[in-house]
Structure 1
Amino acid sequence: MYICNFIFTTSMRFAHPEHLIWLWALVPLVLLIAFGLWARLNALKKLGNLAMLNRLAASRSTAKLVWRAIFTWVAVAALLVAFAAPQMGTRLKEVKKKGIDIVIALDVSYSMLAEDIKPNRLQKAKYEISRLLDKLGQDRIGLVIFAGEAFLQCPMTTDKSTLKLFLDVVSTNAIDLQGTNFRDAILEAARAFHGIETGAAASERNQSRSKVVLMFSDGEDHEGNLEDAIERAQTERIRIYSIGIGSDNPTPIPVFNAQGERIDFKRSKDGVVTTSFVPDHLQRLAEKTGGNFYRIDAQTTGLEPLISELNALQKEEFASKEFVDYDDRFQIFLLIAFSLLVLESLIGDWRKVRQKEV
């Protein structure tokens, strides 16, 4: 029990995660073990009546054979995990890093379900964001989602794996109030920036460091508060890089049932509702805040120019708490494997048979 608690309550990583691919070998191994047990049973059936043979070989235990097979399989699994060199963090330490502060603002209005960009605008945006995260440096990054209002999906963090988990669950159902509210997205991003540091010198540092919002949207502005969004970004010294998603052709907005199957398109009294990509608003946001405008369409294969531009921005030093001093813990799994193999050898195939009194 102590070992289990230790493993699952401590931050663990693998020095050689590529070796974990060998765990796939456990699948044919379990099939081989099962085949061996089946072949033994089948061979006994061919020799004669199975019940009679069991009485003649009463000292042989099928249950013990099964347990030996299970112990062998688990021992091999533990050895394979040990081969990947598991390591566990022993303590949290404040680590100094250098980077910029980025908030990704992702439009989750219903128009992002349009399928002019495959599989749809939202899924394409999430895919490009994930690729972007893989190529950024030691930056602090947060995630804001917005439609008719905005919500902080993930606070500022240097842990990109955690951020990706929050990104994966984003959908158009995350916000009930529909629309595209750029102002609220900027306000929520500003709160995320302000929430990073506290103290007397925090305000000065907040003004000096590079603050960037990456605005992923199809550009439709249903709230009419674009100028308010620009003014707030300028006040907070936030640089906006707009990433427009969509094609120039009007596209219907699909409607899905609870099982995720498309059943219709969004309709109004005038017929099927369509959505169009509107670059003007996104271009203005970028132009007025010192950023730049980029476009994601069917031919987009990456955002390398944006990544280069972000990496060229002035980076500030900041503190981040991380697990450090990772210690090797492969010995735990070697101990598990060794113990199971010893138990397997001690079990044997035989069972005690009570002698009948004459």
Structure 2
Amino acid sequence: MGKITFLNPEFFWLFLLIPIAIAWFYWKRNQQSATLKMSSTQGFKNSESLLTKLKPALYVFRILGLSSLIIALARPRTVDISSQTKTTKGIDIVLAIDVSGSMLAKDLKPNRMEALKRVAADFVGERPNDRVGLVLYASEAYTKTPVTSDKAIILEAIKSIKYDTVLQDGTGIGMGLATAVNRLKDSKAKSRVIILMTDGVNNAGFIEPETASDIAKQYGIKVYTIGIGTNGMAESPYAYAPNGGFLYKMQKVEIDEQLMKNLARKTDGTYFRATSNDRLAEIYNAINKLETTEIQELKFYDYDEKYRGFVLLAAFLLLLEVGLRNTVYRSFI
């Protein structure tokens, strides 16, 4: 019954009349049949027949019939709701991620790169109606995944991000931004956004970050910049260990925050600084709220009326009561 609703529930107030009807029947029960007054009944056998015992059932049929009629008037029905969503304002987003060696620093847990991958995956999962692309950069940049609506591909690409020697080590912020702009410049989306993250200063590449931001502004692309790393010192890799791993030591964290602020301001974006895992998650949540997609949702309601069964039950009970009263119990004393 949890899925049944009532179109006219106000008719349930009629159930207040049922106790009154029962009380009336109880009060008038001795006047329902013809009576014969005699001075004494000692000569008659004092036993009730089966019909006599069943006669109160007539009133039960009437009460049940009226109750079914009340329920039918309340219009019970079930509803099947189906919905269709239509994106009325889509957003194309490119994540430009720094994969230089400094991203292995352990000031975020377990390191900057792994912390970023988790948060970025959550961010993509919360953008079901937008297209997302992925650009990786160090001293150079390349498109790991073009802008696509297939979230499974994007999530797998984010999961596979790691530090390797495919790109020469360094931080080419301009290269990463320019590559991301190139992925969005021909997009027909209503809004185009780049989320550029770095943990260093621009020290590589042949495209200046300012030049890349000018191009982004020309195409109407908004750039959000994120500087990742604690303030002060961080445990960062500085050389390879004999076993092929990395050797770590405390090193100063250097982020060109002024450059990042300028890139964001020029394109009407915002600069954020992530100094912890929680702060990084908060930044992506903030961007997620700033860049909202307008969704038009159409709902279709399919009602299945259930009152007919109660009407038929009420008619059957009331006709049964009237039929028995005018046949079997017509001349019954």
Asked whether the equivalents of residues 219 and 282 of structure 1 are also in contact (C-alpha less than 8 Å), the reply is: no
Indicate which of 219, 223, 226 corresponds to 1:240: 223
Distance 1:184 1:108 in 2: 13
CA-atom RMSD, angstroms? 2.8
Contact 2:109–2:115 (CA under 8 A) maintained in structure 1: yes
Counterpart of 1:250? Answer: 233
Q: What is the CA-CA distance between 1:140 and the residue it aligns to?
A: 0.8
Q: Which residue of 2 aligns with 1:296?
A: 274
1:287 aligns with 2:265: yes
d(CA) in 2 for partners of 1:134, 1:233: 26
Q: Which letter maps to 1:166? A: A
TM-score, normalisation: structure 1? 0.51
2:226 & 2:122 partners in 1: Cα distance?
Answer: 14
Q: Secondary structure at the match of 1:311?
A: coil
Say whether 1:148 aligns with 2:139. yes
Q: Deviation string for 1:89-108 (max 9, x for gaps)?
A: xxxxxx97541111000001
Which residue type is aligned with residue 102 of structure 1? I
Distance 1:124 1:231 in 2: 30
Residue by residue over 1:256-290, the C-alpha shift from the partner in whole angstroms, topping out at 9 and shown as x without a partner, is 5597744x238xxxxx8644344222221111110
Q: Aligned partners of 2:146, 2:262: CA distance in 1, in Å? A: 27
Q: Which string of whole-angstrom CA distances, capped at 9 and with x for unpartnered residues, describes residues 65-111 of structure 1?
A: xxxxxxxxxxxxxxxxxxxxxxxxxxxxxx97541111000001111
Q: Which runs of 5+ in 2 are unaligned?
A: 1-84, 296-333
1:205-250 superposed Cα distances (whole Å, 9 cap, x missing partner): 47xx311100121142214822222212112221001122111113
Report the identity percentage.
Answer: 28
Which of residues 92, 104, 109 is equivalent to 1:118?
Answer: 109
Letter in 2 for 1:234: K
Structure 1 residue 276 and structure 2 residue 259: aligned?
no
Larger radius of gyration between Structure 1 and Structure 2: 2
Check if 1:221 corresponds to 2:202.
yes
Q: Does structure 1 residue 135 correspond to structure 2 residue 126?
A: yes
TM-aligned CA deviation for residue 132 of structure 1: 0.7
Unmatched tracts of structure 1, length 5 or more? 1-94, 197-204, 267-271, 316-358
Which amino acid is the alignment partner of residue 195 of structure 2? L
> Shift of the alpha carbon at 1:195?
6.0
Is residue 2:82 matched to residue 1:104? no
- The whole-number CA distance in structure 2 between the counterparts of 1:256 and 1:128 is 28
Q: Distance in 2 between matches of 1:286 and 1:178?
A: 25
Alpha carbons 1:219, 1:280 under 8 Å: kept? no
Does the 8 Å CA contact 2:177/2:209 hold for their aligned counterparts? no
Aligned 1:68-79 pairs, distance under 5 A:
none
| 1:306-354: CA deviation from partner (whole Å, max 9, x where unpaired) | 1110116x79xxxxxxxxxxxxxxxxxxxxxxxxxxxxxxxxxxxxxxx
State the secondary structure of the residue aligned to 2:175. Answer: helix
Secondary structure of 1:179's counterpart equals: coil
Q: Within 5 A, what are the aligned runs for 1:326-337?
A: none
In the alignment, the residues of structure 2 paired with residue 295 and residue 159 of structure 1 have an alpha-carbon distance, to the nearest angstrom, of 29
Between the aligned partners of 1:292 and 1:167, the Cα distance in structure 2 is 23
Structure-1 residue corresponding to 2:192 = 211
Letter in 1 for 2:209: L
